[in-house]
Amino acid sequence: MRFGIALLPVVLAFVLTVLLDPLFPYPFLFLFVGAVMVSAWFAGLSGGLLAVLASTLLIDYYFIPPLHSFSVSISGAAYSIAFALCALAASWLSSEKRNNEQALMVARDQLEVRVLERTAVLMKRRADLVHLSQVLSMSELAGSIAQEVKQPLTAVVTNGLACAEWLSPDHPNLEKARQTVQEIIQEGTRAGAVVSRIRDLFRKESPIHDWLDINDVIREFIVLVHDEARRRNVVIRADLSPGMPKVQGDRVQLQRVLFNLFLNAFDAMSDPAVRQREIHVRSRTDEGQIVVQVEDSGTGLDAESAEKIFQPFFTTKASGVGLGLPISRSIIESHGGLLEAVLHASKGAEFQFTLPVEAQESAHPRKAEMVGHFES
């Protein structure tokens, strides 16, 4: 098969040369050189050598006097040898170029495989960094988590003791006992919900995109950090625009972004010199996008820090690791949005992120009610 491919260009060059021979006063043999190069390209060096041999024989027999004979004169022999040398050089060059092209393609394929493997490793490490950042930050909310879980559990114990009293053999009161049991169920359910929300916030899991009401996402998160804000004497004020369209995203990842922004706000207001400690969270629509703003009344950001704050491992906190904001930005960008810092002339820092509003055929946005002030 390879030799057939090598001889086919030579046959084609021979036919064309025979047709063009009456038009030139001398043999027009350049087509044979081209045929040799084509043969060497597709059939390799051995195919190119076969094409050189076949071309030389055809030229000696049909085009160099005496015609139709392999016996040649001295000048004809020199012409034939010169052609053979040129054809050999062309065959070698074509074959080497082909080999280099193939080697380059193999190297490129291997490089693509290595890049894919390396990308997979980097993506796994990025996911590990995301989880590490959340675990490191978890300690900062440990008091709030303990308080939020302790309240319903304390209520369960209290109601359990009351239920035991209502079921005493001396003065049983089944109605009161039934009400107390209902309260126990409610408090137990509340404790389970708290644990579930905390587990969702810190567990490692693939993103699950769904149609979300961003106001509901913010409200759920405010409930989670409410006790921590009260412990730090911080007032959370929410101004959420009603009638917001739904966005497609992962609820847990978006709450992780809010988690990092609120932690930064808490730390920024931990300075005793900060008298008024407030966090304002706002939501609105702007030119086909949903905008969420988180503003604190802390020490604020300077221009230099605002430029570097999204760089990995850059932090303005003594105990920070510098991963929260870079990870938050990557999460927002994976949702098609943008997270940025907004500089203020007055004190305080503001971060805002945008999320694109996409058409949703099957789900209609629910009318959101404006959340009042959450005062801790």
**CATH classification of the domain holding 297:** 3.30.565.10
Specify the DSSP class assigned to residue 72: -
Structural domain includes residue 187 = no
User: Which of 105, 135, 161 delimits the end of a domain?
Assistant: 105
As for how many domains the chain has, the answer is 2
Residue 204 has pLDDT above 90, yes or no: no
Which has the minimum average pLDDT: 178-187, 201-210, 220-229?
Answer: 201-210
Tell me the whole-structure pTM to 2 decimals. 0.47
Q: pLDDT > 90: what percent of the chain?
A: 10
Q: Max CA-CA distance within the chain?
A: 138
Q: Provide the Cα torsion 336, 339, 340, 346; round to 10°.
A: 130
Structural domain includes residue 67 = yes
Residue 142 has pLDDT above 90, yes or no: no
CA geometry: angle at 229 spanning 226 and 234, to 5°? Answer: 130
pLDDT at 235: 92
Closest CA to 298 of 339, 333, 266: 266
Q: What is the pLDDT of residues 157-187, one digit of tens each?
A: 777 888 887 787 777 888 888 888 888 887 7
pLDDT band at 370 (very low <50, low <70, confident <90, very high): very low
Q: Are residues 356 and 230 located together in one domain of the fold?
A: yes
Q: Are 283 and 244 in contact (CB under 8 A)?
A: yes
Element (H, E) at 54: helix 30-62
Q: What is the pLDDT of residues 11-33, one digit of tens each?
A: 888 888 777 777 766 666 777 87
Structural domain includes residue 311 = yes
Which has the minimum average pLDDT: 60-74, 122-136, 173-187?
Answer: 122-136
Structural domain includes residue 294 = yes
Which has the minimum average pLDDT: 90-99, 262-271, 305-314?
Answer: 305-314
Q: Between helices 214-231 and 251-268, what is the axis angle to 10°?
A: 30
User: Which of 71, 105, 139 delimits the end of a domain?
Assistant: 105
Q: Are residues 217 and 98 located together in one domain of the fold?
A: no
Structural domain includes residue 33 = yes
* 66 CB-near residues (< 8 Å, 6+ apart): 72, 73
Q: Are residues 366 and 217 located together in one domain of the fold?
A: yes
Say which residue, 273 or 359, is predicted with more confidence. 273
* 251 CB-near residues (< 8 Å, 6+ apart): 208, 210, 212, 217
Please, what is the average pLDDT of the chain? 76
pLDDT band at 345 (very low <50, low <70, confident <90, very high): low
Task: State the Cα–Cα distance between residues 219 and 295, nearest whole angstrom.
Answer: 16
| Residues making up the chain, counted from first to last | 376
Task: State the Cα–Cα distance between residues 364 and 218, nearest whole angstrom.
Answer: 19
Residue 319 has pLDDT above 70, yes or no: no
pLDDT band at 193 (very low <50, low <70, confident <90, very high): low
User: Which of 71, 86, 105 delimits the end of a domain?
Assistant: 105
Structural domain includes residue 125 = no
As beta bridge partners, residue 290 has: 285, 355
How many angstroms separate the first and last alpha carbons of the chain? 84
Q: Are residues 353 and 221 located together in one domain of the fold?
A: yes
pLDDT at 290: 93
Q: Are residues 101 and 219 located together in one domain of the fold?
A: no
Q: Are 55 and 13 in contact (CB under 8 A)?
A: yes
pLDDT at 245: 92
As beta bridge partners, residue 338 has: 354
Residues of the domain holding 31:
2-105
Say which residue, 18 or 260, is predicted with more confidence. 260
Q: What is the pLDDT of residues 325-343, one digit of tens each?
A: 888 888 898 889 999 888 7
Q: Are 257 and 217 in contact (CB under 8 A)?
A: no
Structure tokens at 72: 């040649």
Averaged pLDDT, 202-218: 76
Structural domain includes residue 283 = yes
Tokens 């879980």, located at residue: 149
Say which residue, 126 or 183, is predicted with more confidence. 183
Structural domain includes residue 122 = no
Residue 262 has pLDDT above 80, yes or no: yes
Distances (CA, A) of 86 to 13, 26, 30, 47, 93: 16, 18, 10, 16, 11
Q: Are residues 88 and 223 located together in one domain of the fold?
A: no
